[in-house]
Structures are given as C-alpha cells and as structure tokens.
Structure 1
Amino acid sequence: MAMMPHIAPIGTEGYLVRFADRLDDVANKALVGFAAALEAEAVVGIAEISTALASVFVRFDVGQIARADLVARLEALLASRDWLVAAESGAARLWRVPTLYGGAAGPQLGEVANLVGVSEEAAVRELSAARVRVLAIGFAPGQPYLGMLPERWDVPRQTELSPRVPQGALVLAVRQFNLFANETPTGWRHIATTHMKLFRPDVAQPFTLRPGDELIFPAVSEHDWAALETDPLGGARLEERGDA
C-alpha cells in the first residue's frame, strides 16, 4: 500500500493527492488545508482544485505546465509541513443554522431515533448541539457532506429512495448530515429542514459553504423558522472564527 499522502495520475490531465484510503477526520482536515495552500500559490497551468472526502483532485493544462513540473510542485508543497499536525491547529469558520426538526419538516426523525435507541426529544437535543464540518461539496452545486457525528449515529442508508425531499432538507446517514441544495430523491433519512441558501449564482462567491467550514443546526420553533424563509441565508449566521 502506498504511503500517505500519495500522488497518482488520473487520466491525461489530472492528479489525485490522496491523504487516506477511507474517510478519516484528521486526514480530511489536512487535505482541505493542502488544497487551500495550493490554491493560494496560484500555479500557472492548474485549472481546477477539487476536494473530496479523502483526496484532492488537481486538473492541469498540459499546454501551460509540464507534468513533471506539476508533480514537483505538489511534492514540494506536501513536504513543506506536516499537514496532519497543521490540520489540528486552525480555527474554522462556524455557521449556526436555524433548523426545524420533526413533523412535516423532518418526517423520518422518529425512524432515526428508533434506530439509535433514543426518544425524538433526545435525538433533537443531541443533533441540534452537534458540531459538524464540511467534509466535501458535491452532488449538486454548493451541497455539503457534513460530519462526523458520534458513532451511535452510524445509521445505514435506506434500501429504497425517498421520492422527494425539499431544498434545505437536513438528512442523516453513516454518521453524516447532508444538506440538500435542491429538491431531490434520496436514500438518506429526512430529519429536519432549514432555509439555508447553499447556491446563490447572483453573488461573487456562489457557494455559501466551503470545505472545512463547521456548522451547528440549533432547533427553533415552527414560528421562528417560518419567519426566516425570506432571509437571504435563511437565518444562517457566520462566525469568522469558530472558537466558541
């Protein structure tokens, strides 16, 4: 097995910088930091930098940078610091996202609570206090995979798809939340709904979230949640440093 981090070619115009062979919390933090540092270097010829759960994809323009030169830049950046140590030292942006749990806004909350062995009230208390991180963005523009929840929330995906969950749906499976950017079918269980806007094509940075951001989904009343529908970010508020 290759030592991590490991650089491997992907097709004719890409490289994958793999930090782990499976989802690992520290490795995920490390790759987010590495990707940010690589982007800051603004290397001529790099066309795309995309993070996933355990790796960073780098696409390059073969007419602007030689393959060997790109690999040398990636190797130099990897060697410049201990990314696993650096990952634990940074303070993330923290979002607080008002969330309505259960009922029509989270019709499968009771099912999830039963699978875990707690009451719905206990599930809401724990989940609304959980602090999760954007592990990756994908599936739809701006849509985050969020984790990791405590081990007892390792709830399997459904064997059948739910035909529809709304935009803003907070769903749960495999110790992760997913917050949907669009109405969609899903195999994850729908436990709550937010009004958070994840993709805003009319602003300079259309993706609201970025890898490494942290989120808390505090429970609010139906009255307070409904009042946030017209808020530009659905009531979500950002703290530039997530120390609290």
Structure 2
Amino acid sequence: MAELPPIRLVGLSGLLIQFATSMSEPANRAAIAFRAAVEAEHWPEVRETSTSLVSTFISIDLVAHTPEAVVEKLQSLLATQDWLSAPLPAGRTLWEIPTLYGTDAAPQLEEAALAAGVTPETAIEELSTARVRVLTIGFAPGQPYTGELPPHWDIPRQQSLTKSVPAGALVVAIRQLIIFTNASPTGWRHVGQTAFRNFRPNDPTPIALSPGDELCFPSVTAAEYARITTADLSGNGGAQKQVLP
C-alpha cells in the first residue's frame, strides 16, 4: 500500500492533510476529492472543511476532541484508495464567463503573450478556449485560483506591482488564471476583463465558485461586453453554467 499523506496539527483549530509539497494536478484533485469524502462521513466533530492547492483542512476543536482519535479516523479513510488517482466529486459546476481580452480594459495581454512565446491572437485563442479548474479560493474573499494552463503559460510574475486592476480582472501567471473579486494591486498580468463577481456578500451563497468547479473564458467583443455590464447586474456577468456529472 502506498504511504499515506502526512496529517499535521494546525494549532488547536484542526488538522491538515497534505497530498504534495508543490502544486500538481493529481494532488489538487486528491485534496478536493478527500474533502468531499470527509463531508460525506458527517463526523460530528468536524465543524467545516476547506482545501488549499494540495491540502485538505479539517476544522475541529482539538480542545474538545483528542487529535489521536480524529487522526485515526482520517488515516482509515485515507487508506481506502489512492487519492492521487481519485476522480473529482460529482455535482461540480462548469461556468462559461464572457471575457473581453486586451484593449484598454486589459492592457497587459500583449506582454503576457510575449512572455508565453505566442502572438496576442494565439494568446486570445488559447485562453478563451482553455477549460480550467478552480484549484483553491484564497488571498481575498472569494478569489479563485484556476488552472492549469499549458506549460508555455508558466510565465513569471512581474518584477513590480501593477498599482490596481479592477474587480473582474482576469490575470495570468504560473499557468494559472485568477478573476479578481475586488480592485487590487497585483504582480500578475491583466489579460482579460469580465463582469463576473465571485464574492457576493449579500447573497445566500456569498462565494459562487467552489474548488473543483470548472471554468471557460470565451472571448467577446467590446460591444458585447458593454451590453453584458448593463444587462446583467446579478454578479454572474453573463456567465452560463451547468452541473457536471
């Protein structure tokens, strides 16, 4: 049997199951699948669960519950299969989010294309047809890190910060795409602009995307983007979605 991934204490707040030490698609898939498996167990001591790029966090009051007993249950569940080969859980959502590439709205497309070794036209074709997964949510409320893009998109962050990109900005670096939830400085290159808002604090579900969801960013014209920004005030930004089997 393969060696089980390490389980680490996180103070008194819970336990972290680490499937790798660096980002990889199998480790991210394992973290998402294992989280779903833990939630399906309905263990009473588990308060909530979450995932990072390659880890699953289990929130447990370790004052009220001894770590040893919980670790034993987690190890038993980990031993049931090879989680690096586990399928993603059913019930995830595929989102198609209309995106305006380049123009003054997303002025670093050409710079990013140059770094990736492609033309701006090829960059738009590749980014607008890529299907990526929400790897994790972090940095800011509801901010999704998605990937992975092909290897030539393993472009570095900028050497200096862009002072601010707007909410809905689609930025790229290290084979990943991020949609910014709020205006923010960034070292990632601004290649597209969406009207999608993942963080909606007044909604019953304040974060629309979940780790494991999949996204596409089809290209639209400036006129189409302008129409979307006035016609769809829900935060979806004209996005279409469907439940994955």
Alpha-carbon deviation of 1:62? 2.8
1:149 is matched with 149
1:56 is matched with 56
Alpha-carbon deviation of 1:73? 1.8
CA contact (8 A) 1:136 1:144 kept: yes
Q: Give the secondary structure class of the aligned counterpart of 1:9.
A: strand
Number of aligned residue pairs = 241
2:177 is matched with 177
Amino acid at match of 2:241: L
State the distance in 2 between where 1:67 and 1:150 align.
41
TM-score (norm 1): 0.93
- 1:118 matched to 2:118? The reply is yes
Q: Give the secondary structure class of the aligned counterpart of 2:22.
A: coil
TM-score (norm 2): 0.92
2:18 is matched with 18
2:238 is matched with 235
Deviations 1:150-193 (A, max 9, x none): 00011100111000000000000011111101100000000011
1:189 is matched with 189
State the distance in 2 between where 1:129 and 1:140 align.
26
Alpha-carbon deviation of 1:199? 1.0
Q: Give the secondary structure class of the aligned counterpart of 2:228.
A: coil
Deviations 1:197-238 (A, max 9, x none): 201122222111000011000000111111111411101111
Amino acid at match of 2:243: E
Deviations 1:11-49 (A, max 9, x none): 233211001111010110111011122123232222332
Q: Give the secondary structure class of the aligned counterpart of 1:29.
A: helix
Amino acid at match of 1:129: T
CA contact (8 A) 1:26 1:88 kept: no
2:219 is matched with 219
CA contact (8 A) 1:45 1:62 kept: no
Amino acid at match of 2:163: P
State the distance in 2 between where 1:111 and 1:190 align.
9
1:162 is matched with 162
State the distance in 1 between where 2:139 and 2:184 align.
11
Seq. identity, %: 47
Deviations 1:74-102 (A, max 9, x none): 11221223322222685742110000000
- 1:199 matched to 2:202? The reply is no
CA contact (8 A) 2:198 2:208 kept: yes
Q: Which runs of 5+ in 2 are unaligned?
A: none
State the distance in 2 between where 1:3 and 1:73 align.
16
Q: How does 1:67-82 map to 2 (within 5 A)?
A: 67-82=67-82
State the distance in 2 between where 1:3 and 1:111 align.
44
Amino acid at match of 2:72: A
CA contact (8 A) 1:108 1:190 kept: yes
Q: Which runs of 5+ in 1 are unaligned?
A: none
State the distance in 2 between where 1:79 and 1:116 align.
41
Q: Which range moved further: 231-240 or 181-190?
A: 231-240
State the distance in 1 between where 2:4 and 2:11 align.
20
2:38 is matched with 38
